Structures are given as structure tokens and as C-alpha cells.
Amino acid sequence: GENVEQHPSTLSVQEGDSAVIKCTYSDSASNYFPWYKQELGKRPQLIIDIRSNVGEKKDQRIAVTLNKTAKHFSLHITETQPEDSAVYFCAAGQETSYDKVIFGPGTSLSVIP
């Protein structure tokens, strides 16, 4: 089955700097890669996702890149703000399969004002 690793487990950046979180997956059949943000005490919420037919996707200050050959994908947050502080989860799954999406263990991001 799929296995998703995520690094780093914790990340601190100064406000305005960039943050990068990296994930690797094991199943080459995976073709759907969502990212979720979870603020303290709240529900996880989807912030961006990418499918294997594209290598990069951007949404304002957030971007995700995908390298299917190396089986890794990354979340990039530019011009970080204190409200970006949260736990971020990557996940991998198969879009057209009955199968479920497997989550990484999470990265706790702290943005220092």
C-alpha cells in the first residue's frame, strides 16, 4: 500500500520568509496529491491539490510542485504571515480508484512575527 513521508516535522520561519515542506510517496500509481492545513483545535481544510498531469500549481502565495519520477511533491509558501502558522498535512492517493488517500504525519509551521 501507499506510504507517505513528510519533512520537516517542525518548521519555524520569520514573517515574510518562505517555507517549504516536502513529501515522498511510495506507490507509483498515486496521481492525486492534496495538502491540508489544520489550525490549532480546528478541522483540517484543503488548501491546494495537484494531479499527476501537471508539475506545478499556484494559488496566490501557495504553490505545489510534483516530481513523479522521484515520487516527491512539495508545498511552497511565500511571504509567510503569522496566520500561516498551523499543521500542514500532505496526502497521496489514486484519483480513479476505490482507494483512499493516505496522509503524511504533518508539519508544524510557526511563523515568527
Partner 1 sequence: DAGITQSPRYKITETGRQVTLMCHQTWSHSYMFWYRQDLGHGLRLIYYSAAADITDKGEVPDGYVVSRSKTENFPLTLESATRSQTSVYFCASSYRESQPQHFGDGTRLSIL
Q: Please report, as ranges, the residues that interact with partner 1 according to CB under 8 A.
A: 6, 32, 34, 42-46, 49, 89, 93-106
Q: Please identify, using beta-carbon distances, which residue of 51 and 81 lies nearer to partner 1.
A: 51
Q: Please identify, using beta-carbon distances, which residue of 87 and 111 lies nearer to partner 1.
A: 87
Closest separation between CB of residue 4 and partner 1, Å?
8
Kindly give the pairing relationship between strand 107-112 and strand 86-92: antiparallel
- Of the candidates 36, 15, 12, 19, the residue with the CA atom closest to the CA atom of residue 81: 15
Could you tell me the end-to-end alpha-carbon distance of the chain, in angstroms, rounded to an integer? Answer: 41
Q: Please identify, using beta-carbon distances, which residue of 39 and 56 lies nearer to partner 1.
A: 39
